[in-house]
């Protein structure tokens, strides 16, 4: 098995010898990664991985589940013991030799529910969550025909919450193989094609803790005040956001980087037993940055019921990452029955679809239908609906928008004054 590393163009290897023609584990890795084997046996290889380039480290256990049903409980006990060994971010992947749910098994006979319950209980006790998958739903096929065919999802990747936070865009792919009755699984730690349009600049609520924000907004608005049409308002808001971003970079910088810098400075002052006034000043600066960080994650997570200053940054961070995973579209179904995963092609599909939906069909004549409908809008009502918007209506509409769901804080607090005047 070790000689295979040259064919795979990998320079590092760890393995467990097979028992005759059965079993055996092999792990190959690139020299760019620092991998330390913590433990190994016939059922798993447990390693610590350090990626120097990204400054990330985590623990991974590559498993080959117990093939004999009567001994399978030993596998779950081993995983529980490994869980207690370390609190590092943990990924467990491989062939578990067991499905977790009944729908993951397709044959004329059902799987033992007790065995699946034991698997799920072990996963819950170890705080491991299935990472899901993309592709064919089964990873094992016995190759038989008709009623003798058995297909099961035996291979999977599970991780704890710390690992999922470390690689929040990780995804698992079921690959096709003609050389084995098992399908290989590929765990991608990052997006393969991350080319996305740059996000539109957004107003940050943490800016409001700076006393100079109102002056910046007022000067920018006065500098390029719109002439009265919506296009001019849009252009003015765009210019204002560009100015606010430049101002934010100068006055706020990168919050995470500044936090690390301040923590290091505070630790240095405390180690040197510096003057207490200097330490208190540094702690005050750190508190201010922590508040800004919490406001940033509050806005990103869209938790509207949470009050400012509740120090729930970890929860907000997880909520924001959950929103990012939920809102991210990885693949679309084409009209020809194929799948599309290219961002540029998906963008073209979206544009074409909605253009078609909202384009008038010239072959349809709605007059026949409309003539049979009794009008509900009177002339008086129509005149009121067609009248120009008043400043009061505009201000009322803006104030009804949730402050974290649109740039309403900027508009309501700094562009519109108390009387509703622009």
Structure confidence at residue 191 (pLDDT): 63
Where residue 13 sits, what CATH number does that domain have?
3.60.10.10
143 and 61 in a single domain? The answer is: yes
Question: Please, are residues 210 and 251 in contact by the beta-carbon 8 Å criterion?
Answer: yes
CA distance 156 to 179: 19
Q: Is the pLDDT of residue 373 over 70?
A: yes
245 and 335 in a single domain? The answer is: no
Last residue of a domain, one of 129, 155, 188: 188
Domain count, the chain: 3
Structure confidence at residue 323 (pLDDT): 57
Is residue 126 in a domain?
A: yes
65 and 172 in a single domain? The answer is: yes
Q: pLDDT tens for residues 332-367?
A: 888 888 888 788 888 888 888 888 888 877 888 888
Structure confidence at residue 409 (pLDDT): 38
10 and 88 in a single domain? The answer is: yes
CA distance 367 to 285: 68
Q: pLDDT tens for residues 157-176?
A: 999 999 998 998 899 988 87
Strands 44-51 and 185-188: what pairing? Answer: unpaired
Structure confidence at residue 246 (pLDDT): 83
Q: What angle do CA 333, 336, 337 make, to 5 degrees?
A: 50
Is residue 391 in a domain?
A: no
Structure confidence at residue 87 (pLDDT): 87
Q: Kindly report which listed range (135-139, 304-308, 318-322) carries the lowest average pLDDT score.
A: 304-308
Structure confidence at residue 121 (pLDDT): 93
Last residue of a domain, one of 283, 310, 327: 327
Q: Is the pLDDT of residue 63 over 50?
A: yes
Structure confidence at residue 299 (pLDDT): 62
Last residue of a domain, one of 271, 304, 327: 327
285 and 340 in a single domain? The answer is: no
Is residue 368 in a domain?
A: no
58 and 173 in a single domain? The answer is: yes
pTM above 0.95, yes or no: no
Structure confidence at residue 312 (pLDDT): 52
46 and 19 in a single domain? The answer is: yes
Question: Please, are residues 225 and 204 in contact by the beta-carbon 8 Å criterion?
Answer: no
Structure confidence at residue 298 (pLDDT): 64
Structure confidence at residue 284 (pLDDT): 83
Is residue 136 in a domain?
A: yes
Three-state helix/strand/coil letters over the chain: CCCHHHHCCCCEEEEECCECCECCEEEEECCCEEEEEEEECCCEEEEEEEECCCCEEEEEEEEECCCCHHHHHHHHHHHHHHHHHCCCCEEEEEECCCCCCHHHEECCCCCCHHHHHHHHHHHHHCCCEECCCECCCCCEECCCCHHHCCEECCEEEEECHHHHHHCCCCEEEECCCCCCCECCEEEECCCCCCCCCCCCCCCCHHHHHCCCHHHHHHHHHHHCCCCCCHHHHHHHHHHHHHHHHHHHHHHCCCHHHHHHHHHHHHHHHHHCCCCHHHHHHHHHHHHHHHHHHHHHHHHHHCCCCCCCCCCCHHHHHHHHHHHHHHHCCCCEECCCCCEECCHHHHHHHHHHHHHHHCCCCCCCCCHHHHHCCCCCCCHHHHHHHHCCCCHHHHHHHHHCCCCCCCCHHHHHHHHCCCCCCC
Structure confidence at residue 347 (pLDDT): 86
CA distance 410 to 47: 50
- Give me the domain span that covers residue 255: 205-327
Is residue 12 in a domain?
A: yes
Is residue 159 in a domain?
A: yes
Residue 196 or 153, more confident:
153
Q: Is the pLDDT of residue 325 over 70?
A: no
Question: Please, are residues 323 and 301 in contact by the beta-carbon 8 Å criterion?
Answer: yes
Structure confidence at residue 417 (pLDDT): 39
Q: Is the pLDDT of residue 156 over 70?
A: yes
Cα dihedral 111, 115, 120, 122 in deg (nearest 10): -160
Question: Please, are residues 16 and 45 in contact by the beta-carbon 8 Å criterion?
Answer: yes
CA distance 53 to 39: 25
Which residue(s) pair with 99 in the sheet?
none
209 and 323 in a single domain? The answer is: yes
Q: Is the pLDDT of residue 194 over 70?
A: no
Query: Please, what is the average pLDDT of the chain?
Result: 79
Q: What is the mean pLDDT of residues 368-373?
A: 82
158 and 221 in a single domain? The answer is: no
CA distance 167 to 56: 10
252 and 161 in a single domain? The answer is: no
CA distance 264 to 262: 5
Structure confidence at residue 288 (pLDDT): 75
Q: Is the pLDDT of residue 208 over 80?
A: no
Q: Is the pLDDT of residue 315 over 70?
A: no
Structure confidence at residue 183 (pLDDT): 86
* pLDDT above 90 as % of the chain: 24
306 and 350 in a single domain? The answer is: no
Question: Please, are residues 70 and 101 in contact by the beta-carbon 8 Å criterion?
Answer: no
CA distance 351 to 61: 44
Structure confidence at residue 394 (pLDDT): 81
Is residue 410 in a domain?
A: no
Structure confidence at residue 98 (pLDDT): 92
Structure confidence at residue 18 (pLDDT): 80
Q: Is the pLDDT of residue 226 over 90?
A: no
Q: What is the mean pLDDT of residues 302-308?
A: 47
Is residue 386 in a domain?
A: no
Q: Can you read off the two tokens belonging to residue 125?
A: 């006790």
Q: What is the mean pLDDT of residues 94-113?
A: 90
Q: What is the mean pLDDT of residues 39-52?
A: 92
Query: Band of the pLDDT at 27, cuts 50, 70, 90?
Result: very high
Q: Can you read off the two tokens belonging to residue 45?
A: 């290889």
239 and 173 in a single domain? The answer is: no
């Amino acid at each position: 098995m070790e000689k295979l590393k040259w064919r795979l163009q990998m320079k590092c290897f760890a393995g467990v010898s097979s028992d005759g023609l059965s079993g055996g584990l092999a792990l190959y890795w690139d020299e760019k990664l620092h991998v330390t084997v913590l433990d190994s046996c016939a059922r798993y290889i447990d390693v610590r991985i350090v990626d120097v380039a990204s400054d990330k480290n985590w623990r991974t256990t590559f498993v080959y589940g117990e093939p004999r049903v009567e001994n399978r409980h030993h596998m779950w006990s081993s995983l529980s013991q490994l869980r207690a060994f370390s609190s590092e971010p943990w990924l467990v992947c491989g062939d578990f030799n067991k499905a977790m749910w009944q729908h993951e098994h397709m044959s004329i006979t059902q799987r033992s529910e007790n065995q699946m319950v034991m698997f799920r209980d072990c996963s819950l006790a170890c705080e491991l969550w299935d990472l899901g998958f993309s592709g064919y739903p089964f990873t094992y096929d016995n190759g038989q025909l008709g009623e003798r065919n058995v297909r099961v999802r035996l291979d999977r990747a599970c991780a704890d919450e710390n690992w999922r936070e470390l690689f929040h865009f990780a995804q698992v792919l079921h690959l096709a193989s003609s050389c084995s009755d098992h399908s290989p699984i590929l765990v991608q730690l990052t997006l393969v094609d991350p080319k996305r349009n740059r996000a539109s600049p957004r107003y940050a609520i943490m800016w409001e803790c700076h006393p100079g924000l109102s002056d910046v907004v007022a000067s920018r608005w006065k500098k390029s005040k719109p002439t009265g049409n919506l296009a001019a308002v849009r252009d003015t808001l765009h210019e204002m956001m560009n100015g606010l971003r430049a101002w934010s970079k100068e006055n706020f910088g990168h919050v995470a980087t500044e936090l690390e810098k301040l923590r290091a400075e505070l630790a240095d002052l405390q180690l040197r037993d510096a003057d207490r006034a200097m330490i208190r000043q540094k702690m005050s600066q750190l508190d201010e940055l922590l508040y800004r960080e919490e406001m940033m994650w509050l806005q990103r997570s869209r938790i509207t019921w949470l009050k400012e200053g509740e120090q729930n940054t970890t929860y907000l961070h997880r909520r924001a990452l959950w929103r990012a995973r939920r809102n991210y579209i990885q693949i679309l179904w084409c009209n020809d029955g194929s799948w599309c995963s290219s961002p540029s092609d998906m963008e073209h599909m979206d544009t074409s679809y909605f253009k078609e939906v909202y384009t008038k069909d010239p072959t349809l004549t709605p007059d026949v239908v409309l003539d049979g409908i009794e009008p509900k809008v009177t002339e008086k009502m129509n005149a009121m609906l067609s009248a120009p918007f008043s400043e009061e209506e505009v201000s009322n509409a803006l104030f009804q928008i949730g402050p974290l769901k649109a740039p309403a804080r900027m508009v309501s607090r700094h562009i519109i004054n108390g009387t509703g005047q622009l």
